[in-house]
Amino acid sequence: MHIFELASHHRAWLSQRQATLAGNIANANTPGYAARYVQDFASLLTQSRAGQAVTHPAHISTASDMPAASVETAVPDYATHSGNTVDVEHELLNASEIRSGYALNVSVVKTFNRMLQAGLRS
């Protein structure tokens, strides 16, 4: 059932990204606001693996102790006169990334659920 756990963590990470994006869009006109970004999933995953003792290369860590993704302010490419560093175009790109990632996540869960059900039925 590792795949469901992993999918669940991925979903939580995507949701956090969506919340961060909402904050950035809402504050696109706030003076002095620095845009925030969530750390990428790969680094989050290796971070959670680092916490576990892996004694064999075939060991797969259980992702149950996944740490919360850290939210950091990125080094800005540019800032407006008011000190705001939100790049709305970049956020738009981010939004479509989140959407496609979420769709992938949901269909993976759906597929594995169907496989499980097929196994139970037969």
Sequence-ordered list of residues with C-beta below 8 angstroms from that of 47, at least 6 positions apart, any chain: 67
- Regarding 113 and contact with another protein (CB under 8 A), the answer is yes
DSSP string, 4-73: HHHHHHHHHHHHHHHHHHHHHHHTTT-TTPPPEEEPPHHHHHHHHHHTS---STT----GGGPPPPPEEE
Among 3, 74, 93, 103, binds another protein (CB under 8 A): 103
Site string for another protein, 16-45 (x = CB under 8 A): x-xxxxxxxxxxxxxx-x--x---------
Segment lying near another protein (by CB under 8 A), choices 47-55, 59-67, 88-96: 88-96
What is the contact surface with another protein in residues (CB under 8 A)?
11-12, 14-16, 18-31, 33, 36, 71, 88, 91, 95, 98-99, 102-103, 106, 109-110, 113-114, 117
